[in-house]
Amino acid sequence: MSTTTNSRDTTGSIPAQTSPGDPQEVLPEFRPSWWETGLRARANASVFGVFAELPGLTRRAVRVAWRADRLRTSLVAVSTVGAGTMAAFGLLATQRILVELFAGGPTPDRVRAALPALAWLAAVTAIRGGLGMLVGYALNGLTPRVHMLVERELFENTTAVELRAFDDDQFAEGMERATRGTEAAIELVQTTMNLFAGLVSLIAVTVAVVTVHPMLLIALLVATVPAGYAALRAGHVRFQSFLASSTRRRRQWVLQRLMAERQSAAELRSYGLRRFLLRLYDKVMGAQIAEELKVAQRVTTTTSVGAIVGGIALAGVYVLLGVLLMRGQIPLAAATTCVIAVQAAQRALAQVTFQIDRVYSSGQFFNEYVRFLATAKGYLPNRAPGSGREPDPVPDGLVELTVGDVSLRYPDRDRPAVDQVSLTIRAGETIALVGENGSGKSTLAAMIAGLREPTSGAILWNGRRYDEWDADGLRRHVAVAMQDHHHWPFSASTNIAMGDIDSDADPELIEAAARRAAAHDMILELPHGYDTLLDKTFKDGQELSGGQWQRITASRAFLRDAPLLIMDEPSSALDPRAEDALFQALRSRQGRHTTILITHRLANVTHADRIVVLEHGHVIESGTHQQLMATDGVYTQLFTLQAAGYQNQPTADAPGADAA
């Protein structure tokens, strides 16, 4: 295996040359991961392995179709078998017609004798057509229901898993594959039904051929199996390619967004990132094209060899028929039926092999979906371990919150982000978490909000561990304004109402919450006030500034009248007036409701009941503003530094003052 796995050279720059050789040398994300080994083994399974998996895959397809819509699934199955049977009857009727037409006697008599079989042929053809239409209609109704069923199941899981799942890149990979798997579910159901149809036709035609001459069966197999084998091999190659390029496609998608979306447009220009991103794009696409070419060559070679061998074998079949005819070993009517039957069998077998290939490959994609659901289940909240009982509903109100020796280490990190932190917060207190970037404030807040589970230690809500309470109920008792808040693409009022989505959005409450976060006047200035859609990508949608979004986020948190409010950097983008209004609103909670406040603007934490200073995940200082200032520790240094920024006003003597 290549040892060059990072695209950065020793100077840390990204190489300018496009080298679409080994994709693993292009970007570090392309390094094969251990978890792909099992998938690769499956993708490399022999063609016979396909047959081994087929029953399981078709069972899965039928089960999912059955769950989505029983009536339509039954209708498709019955109509498919009916249509296949009609095909066999059609062939038998054709043979009957030929026998009558090739018999002795005057032509009008022969035609008359053939009429009943002709009527049969017309009837079975019409019935077959009608059943085919029925299958089409039933499938049209069935497939969207299948898609909805599997996609909804996916979203049920992705919205329920714990936050830590999103730190895991395997989870992200699995999700991409699973998304493809939801589309594959439709294909799997459709192709499984088509496979049944093909098999029924094939059986019918094979019976007819064997009836004419058993030897023709061998010829038939020789004429069709190579092309079928080639089709199956080609399916494998395509699947392997999908597997190999999953990470690359994700990277390509990210790059496409970075270069085409408005969020990144301004920074892209101001930093002159255009050439840098285009170079990365060239590398990713170079590797992608190299892979696609390799796959296309293998597919073409495999299918061409299959077609050549199949063509030679078919010629052999016709030669054999000719020999049998010349020797008088087979009547002309039977030989003609045989040619028709061989062609029909070839079509049926081609359909079957094609469908087997598609069932197999769409089944592999669907397996990714099934596998992802299993992975996601591993991330579902696991409450009250070992207790075997339902978690208790959370009583209203917070009396005391205890953080007991809590640590959290992110999976890919050597050091814990929060390290053995202990803290007791009583009802009505305002606690400020301060500390330098990366000191663990947001991580601690996320654990207190019930969004992340500690790696060790425990947090107690009113004296009982979080995992003993109902998780959703607990989260309803906490309102959080996130540092990385999401810009929900809904109206301003919905954005605020989402803070308490389970209760009816009372416009008065929404307005009151907006006033507390200094958002009310700003919202009224929007073209449609509270009904303004906050998404520029839709018609009449509006874009907000960073500070305006921050006000909406704070309003959302205020709307949820929760006993515990966590505000993580709520004012980093606010103007001084809005900031003042927000902190006045926060101060008005003091003594009545509990607040945890994270901010780097230390002037805003002086009123807090307690200031907790974090450094590298540890609590290094704790006390009121006055107590901490008296200790001359880290807090004093940070506070003094910031205060000096306000005090050091330029004077008339200061250099540059004139120019200003």
Looking at the DSSP bridge assignments, the partners of residue 535 are none
Are the beta carbons of 564 and 401 closer than 8 angstroms?
A: yes
Nearest to 634 by CA among 648, 617, 622, 650: 622
Q: Residues 513-552 vs ligand ATP: string with x where CB under 6 A?
A: ----------------------------------------
Gyration radius (Cα) of the chain, Å = 35
Q: Which stretch binds ligand ATP (CB under 6 A): 206-214, 255-263, 441-449, 624-632?
A: 441-449
**Which residues, 6+ apart, have CB-to-CB distance to 35 below 8 Å?**
170
Of 435 and 499, the one with the shorter C-beta distance to ligand ATP is: 435
Nearer to ligand ATP, 363 or 435 (CB): 435
Closest distance of CB 171 from ligand ATP, Å: 12
Q: Would you say 179 or 483 has its CB closer to ligand ATP? A: 483
- When the beta carbons of 390 and 412 are compared against ligand ATP, the nearer one is 412
Interatomic CA distance for residues 372 and 156, integer angstroms = 12
Q: Which stretch binds ligand ATP (CB under 6 A): 66-74, 174-182, 361-369, 405-413?
A: 405-413
Which residue do the tokens 């006030």 mark?
A: 529
Q: How far is the CB of 30 from ligand ATP (least distance, A)?
A: 21
Task: Decide whether 163 or 323 has the Cβ nearer to ligand ATP.
Answer: 163
DSSP state of 460: E
Helices in 449-503 by DSSP H: which ranges? 471-476, 492-497
Dig out the tokens for 561 from the structure. 């009248």
Q: Examine residue 318 and tell whether it contacts ligand ATP (CB under 6 A).
A: no
CB of 632 to ligand ATP, least distance (A): 23
Closest by Cα among 379, 243, 226 to 303: 226
Identify which of residues 442 and 555 has a Cβ nearer to ligand ATP in the complex: 442
Exposed, middle or buried by CB within 10 Å (0-12, 13-18, 19+), for 267?
exposed
Burial of 268 (0-12, 13-18, 19+ CB in 10 A): middle
How many angstroms separate the CA atoms of 566 and 446, rounded? 9
Supply the minimum distance, in Å, between the C-beta of residue 602 and ligand ATP. 13
Site string for ligand ATP, 443-482 (x = CB under 6 A): x---------------------------------------
Q: Map residues 60-99 to x or -, x wherever contact with ligand ATP holds by CB under 6 A.
A: ----------------------------------------
The Cα–Cα gap between 173 and 567 comes to 32
For ligand ATP, the closer CB: 365 or 639: 639
- Whose structure tokens read 């840390």? 12
Q: How far is the CB of 449 from ligand ATP (least distance, A)?
A: 12
**Burial class, 315, CB count within 10 angstroms (exposed 0-12 / middle 13-18 / buried 19+):** exposed
CB of 385 to ligand ATP, least distance (A): 23
Give the nearer residue to ligand ATP in terms of CB position, either 417 or 581. 417
Comparing CB distances to ligand ATP, the nearer of 311 and 438 is 438
By CB under 6 A, residue 442 contacts ligand ATP: yes
Residue 441 interacting with ligand ATP (CB under 6 A): yes
Site pattern 578..607 for ligand ATP (x: CB under 6 A): ------------------------------
To the nearest whole angstrom, how small is the minimum distance from the Cβ of residue 414 to ligand ATP? 10
Q: Which x/- pattern, by CB under 6 A, does the window 410-439 give for ligand ATP?
A: x-xx---x-----------------x-xxx
When the beta carbons of 143 and 443 are compared against ligand ATP, the nearer one is: 443
Cβ proximity to ligand ATP, 483 vs 622, nearer residue? 483
Angle at 169 between CA 174 and CA 417, to 5 degrees: 145
Cα separation, 111 vs 615, in Å, equals 100
> What is the SS3 assignment for 377-394?
HHCCCCCCCCCCCCCECC
Shortest CB 411 distance to ligand ATP, Å: 7
Q: How many residues appear in the chain?
A: 660
CB 234 within 8 A of CB 302: yes
Cβ-contact 549, 529 below 8 angstroms:
no
> What is the closest distance, in whole angstroms, from the C-beta atom of residue 441 to ligand ATP in the complex?
4
CB of 68 to ligand ATP, least distance (A): 36
Of 335-364, binders to ligand ATP (CB under 6 A) are none
Window 478-507: residues binding ligand ATP (CB under 6 A):
483
Determine the interface stretch with ligand ATP among 140-148, 408-416, 469-477, 636-644 (rule: CB under 6 A): 408-416
Distances (CA, A) of 154 to 7, 149, 381: 35, 9, 16
Q: Give the residue, chosen from 151, 167, 183, 291, that forms a contact with ligand ATP under the rule CB under 6 A.
A: 167
Q: Minimal distance in Å, beta carbon 630 to ligand ATP?
A: 25
How far separated are the first and last CA of the chain, in Å rounded?
Answer: 62
Number of residues located near ligand ATP, criterion CB under 6 A: 14
Q: Per-residue string for binding with ligand ATP, 183-222, x by CB under 6 A?
A: ----------------------------------------
Maximum Cα–Cα distance across the chain: 128
Q: Are 25 and 19 in contact, with CB atoms under 8 Å apart?
A: yes
Strand partners, 403: 423, 459
Half-sphere exposure of 222 (CA within 13 A, CB side): 14
Residue among 207, 230, 195, 416 nearest 313 (CA): 230
Partnered with residue 430 across adjacent β-strands are 595
**Residue 23 identity (one-letter amino acid):** P
Nearer to ligand ATP, 228 or 440 (CB): 440
CB of 162 to ligand ATP, least distance (A): 12
Which of 3/437 has CB closer to ligand ATP? Answer: 437
- Give the interface with ligand ATP as residue ranges (CB under 6 A): 167, 410, 412-413, 417, 435, 437-443, 483
